[in-house]
Amino acid sequence: MLFVLILLNLIVVTSTNDNWHQLDGIEYYIEYTAVIGVDKAKEGCKAISAILAVVKSQRIQDFLVKNINTTKLTGMPFAFYIGLSRTSSTTLQWSDGTTTNTSVFTYWDATDDVYDYRKLCVTMGFHAAFNILFKWKIEYCRMTLRYICQSIFLTIKNTKPIYIIRCKIIVTV
């Protein structure tokens, strides 16, 4: 006997459509409200069935920078948490579980001390000063910052609010 259980999760997001941006089937959500610490940023992403953004190419970096609405950055902080964190002195891990090291694609600010062992979280942009390139910095994970999420699920958007439908199929035999 075969049982199929389909779980539907309807999430209503009250933000405006200009926070969501799609590239190659991945949707990025740019949150302009600052939160205290990366854990709160992760919770914010989880609430919309997403993870902190994985920025593994110059194309994705440029896409995100292009879609950041700088008119919403009226004051500090000017930085966003992304899904990269330090796991050892030379290894970094993305929020999707993949690891990397500092020799592959990164967009570090030239003045940043990437090897500061006390700082574990990676951000796009500077906390206290606006920089249009949104270069990466390694920061303390308790900083009050904005964040960027990503989701690879099917999303159906309506004008307002946004309706996001997630589906999980469980098959048991």
Residue-range domain boundaries for the chain: 16-153
For the stretch 83-138, pLDDT in tens is 999 888 778 899 999 988 655 677 777 777 666 667 889 999 887 677 778 999 98
Closest by CA position to 150, among listed 57, 77, 71 = 57
Q: Partners of 15 in the beta sheet?
A: none
Considering the entire predicted model, what is its pTM?
0.75
Please tell me the class of the 16-153 domain. alpha beta
Q: What percent of the chain has pLDDT over 70?
A: 72
Which helix or strand (DSSP H or E) is residue 65 part of? helix 58-67
CA distance 64 to 58: 10
